């Protein structure tokens, strides 16, 4: 059978009246008036067209046909007597002469109404994702994603970047998350790994003499889902530049991204170059986060000197951080919910008090501050009517808790949070090293391939925790879009950097043989970054969940309920790759 159409379902207009046409699509719905009169809505990828069935013969062809069956309809276009100005095709209708069923929907009832699929529970939506995607609202996010990716490619090419694909099957690499491993059939006992990122390959391209590389790259990490992170796989705008500095990378990103956000975004305003640049230490001290939402104008203040010894137990010997909010008249119920929400989010309590309109400290922990009232007012610059939110703990704990409080306060205080805009910033000057929360040992803070600020001299003469790296994060509206760095292209500095965390030269050679050897043949200074495509599209579309902008997302437990993945495989397949399954009852739970 040769099936064709003359027009799509969003194409016909009043000027087409009198034409004989063929349209195809899904049986969206039909309003039957009588046995020989009905109004059928045909829907395809592009839109909808009304088809008016006016004979018993045509109506008979639709008897027993379920919604979502696919049809081919040939007929004549005519002007509608009752026009629908809300539709592009609302001035016309098609009177059918021939109706052909192309694909039957055999079910009388659907898992959900197509146009209301977003109201269904997520498990059902993901199981029947092919139906969910028929919803024009859901489909539009995937169309938007395609347009954004095309715009990215166009812009990067215009900036003289060359698109190069890198391998999917590679070696396991300690890059911060768990690898997905692929057993080798031809090499018993050995495994490939799916790349967590094209990190090493793109650096090797720089040593190979390519000047500017980019790729919309798939990345694979065995990590838990979050609202802004899909488990299993994601895509990033991976880029690298030879003979480049941090400033060169910033210049490209600041030129490429804002026009895309402004053109396709839910908000038409986006930061222009140069983006705000905030040192990591300042970001934590001022905003309580290394991904601050700059739309919120609230900042943290240090209240340790005036409150740590006030007699309130949770403050004793701790760092105390305060956020002062004017024009906040939340009721006690609102404040209690605010405090509870913050505790659920970060696991630590927050506290509060007010300076009322009469200049008295009231509510919350105010009774502990009465004897030092003026000291507190002066230290925090309070005015009558101000609300003060507080956190306490070790420095980082107090900062992070206050950062969560700041975000929640911004959400409920519209006068302190700009809307309808995208606010970008760079977080710079990250520490090279940190003490691991689990190990208690010195570890790399971010990317182990980063160049320390000060080079070899810093590694030899500074305290490890004082060494800064040429590392940077790109943040938009409180969402981390990307990490990047000036790379450590010097083998001697690389070896010394790894020695600081207990790995010797032989370890570096064993773990990163290609990169180490390549750098020994004269590597250019190079730098790069990799903004997450999924997160960018999520922000641009104004969606809260990243799964809304991925065509076939996994659920929160990294399962594809539509395809049934992960799944078991038969013994022959396991034998081919030299794998034997050994699962305990506890593992199987």
Instruction: Examine the pLDDT at 1 and tell me if it is beyond 80.
Output: no
**pLDDT for the residue numbered 176:** 65
CATH topology assigned to domain 296-416 = Gyrase A; domain 2 (3.30.1360)
Quick one: tokens of 215?
A: 């790729």
Per-residue pLDDT tens over the stretch 531-577? 999 999 999 999 989 999 999 999 989 999 999 999 999 999 999 99
pTM: 0.91
* HSE-up (13 A, CA, CB side) for residue 185: 5
- Is the CA virtual torsion 564, 566, 572, 576 positive or negative? positive
**pLDDT for the residue numbered 327:** 82
Q: Of the candidates 409, 484, 72, 20, which has an alpha carbon nearest to the alpha carbon of residue 248? A: 484
CA distance 314 to 348: 11
Q: Where in the chain is the domain with CATH 3.30.1360.30?
A: 296-416
| Range of lowest pLDDT (307-321, 342-356, 436-450, 493-507) | 436-450
Instruction: Examine the pLDDT at 175 and tell me if it is beyond 60.
Output: no
Mean pLDDT of the chain: 94
Q: Where in the chain is the domain with CATH 2.40.50.140?
A: 14-103
CA distance 201 to 136: 39
**pLDDT for the residue numbered 174:** 63
Taking residues 226-232, what's their average pLDDT?
79
Instruction: Examine the pLDDT at 126 and tell me if it is beyond 80.
Output: yes
Calculate the dihedral angle through the C-alpha atoms of 514, 516, 518, 519, rounding to the nearest 10 degrees.
160
Q: Which CATH architecture is the domain 14-103 placed in? A: Beta Barrel (2.40)
Neighbours of 39 (CB within 10 A): 15
CA distance 214 to 154: 11
Instruction: Examine the pLDDT at 73 and tell me if it is beyond 70.
Output: yes
């Amino acid at each position: 059978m040769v099936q064709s159409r003359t027009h799509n379902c969003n194409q016909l207009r009043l000027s087409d009246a009198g034409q004989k046409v063929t349209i195809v699509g899904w049986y969206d719905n039909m309003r039957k008036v009588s046995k020989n009169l009905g109004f059928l809505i045909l829907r395809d990828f592009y839109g909808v067209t009304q088809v008016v069935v006016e004979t018993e013969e045509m109506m008979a062809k639709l008897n027993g046909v379920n919604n979502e069956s696919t049809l081919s309809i040939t007929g004549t276009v005519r002007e509608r007597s009752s026009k629908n100005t809300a539709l592009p095709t609302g001035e016309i209708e098609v009177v059918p002469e021939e109706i052909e069923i192309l694909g039957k929907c055999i079910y009388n009832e659907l898992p959900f109404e197509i146009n209301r699929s977003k109201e269904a529970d997520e498990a059902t939506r993901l199981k029947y994702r092919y139906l969910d995607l028929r919803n024009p609202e859901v489909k539009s996010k995937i169309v938007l994603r395609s347009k954004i990716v095309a715009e990215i490619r166009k812009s990067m090419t215009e900036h003289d970047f060359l698109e190069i694909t890198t391998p999917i099957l590679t070696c396991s690499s300690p890059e911060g998350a768990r690898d997905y491993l692929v057993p080798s059939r031809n090499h018993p006992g050995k495994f490939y790994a799916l790349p967590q990122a094209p990190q090493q390959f793109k650096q090797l391209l720089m040593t190979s003499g390519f000047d500017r590389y980019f790729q919309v790259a798939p990345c694979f990490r065995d990590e838990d889902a979050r609202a802004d992170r899909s488990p299993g796989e994601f895509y990033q705008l991976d880029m690298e530049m030879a003979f480049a500095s941090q400033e060169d990378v910033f210049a490209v990103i600041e030129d490429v991204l804002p026009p895309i956000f402004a053109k396709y975004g839910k908000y038409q305003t986006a930061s222009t170059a140069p983006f705000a640049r905030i040192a990591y230490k300042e970001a934590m001290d001022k905003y309580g986060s290394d991904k601050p939402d700059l739309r919120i104008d609230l900042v943290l203040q240090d209240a340790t000197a005036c409150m740590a010894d006030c007699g309130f137990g949770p403050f004793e010997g701790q760092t105390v951080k305060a956020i002062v909010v004017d024009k906040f008249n939340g009721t006690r119920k609102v404040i209690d919910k605010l405090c509870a929400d913050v505790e659920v989010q970060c696991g630590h309590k927050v506290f509060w008090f007010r300076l009322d309109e009469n200049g008295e400290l009231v509510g919350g922990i105010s009774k502990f501050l009465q004897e030092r009232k003026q000291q507190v007012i002066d230290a925090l610059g309070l005015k009558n009517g101000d609300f003060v939110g507080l956190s306490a703990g070790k420095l980082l704990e107090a900062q992070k808790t206050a950062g969560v409080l700041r975000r929640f306060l911004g959400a409920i205080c519209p006068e302190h949070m700009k809307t309808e805009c995208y606010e970008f910033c760079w977080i710079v000057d990250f520490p090279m090293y940190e003490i691991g929360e689990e190990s208690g040992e010195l570890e790399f803070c971010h990317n182990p391939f980063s160049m320390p600020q000060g080079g070899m001299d810093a590694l030899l003469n500074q305290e490890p925790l004082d060494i800064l790296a040429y590392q940077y994060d790109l943040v938009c509206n409180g969402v981390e879009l990307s990490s990047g760095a000036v790379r450590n292209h010097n083998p001697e500095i690389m070896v010394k950097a790894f020695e600081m965390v207990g790995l010797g030269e032989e370890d570096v050679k064993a773990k990163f043989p290609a990169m180490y050897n390549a750098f020994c043949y004269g590597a250019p200074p190079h730098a790069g970054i990799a903004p997450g495509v999924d997160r960018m599209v999520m922000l641009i579309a104004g969606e809260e969940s990243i799964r809304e902008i991925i065509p076939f997302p996994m659920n929160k437990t990294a399962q594809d309920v539509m395809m049934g993945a992960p799944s078991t495989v038969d013994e022959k397949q396991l034998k081919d790759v030299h794998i034997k399954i050994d699962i305990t009852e506890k593992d199987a739970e």
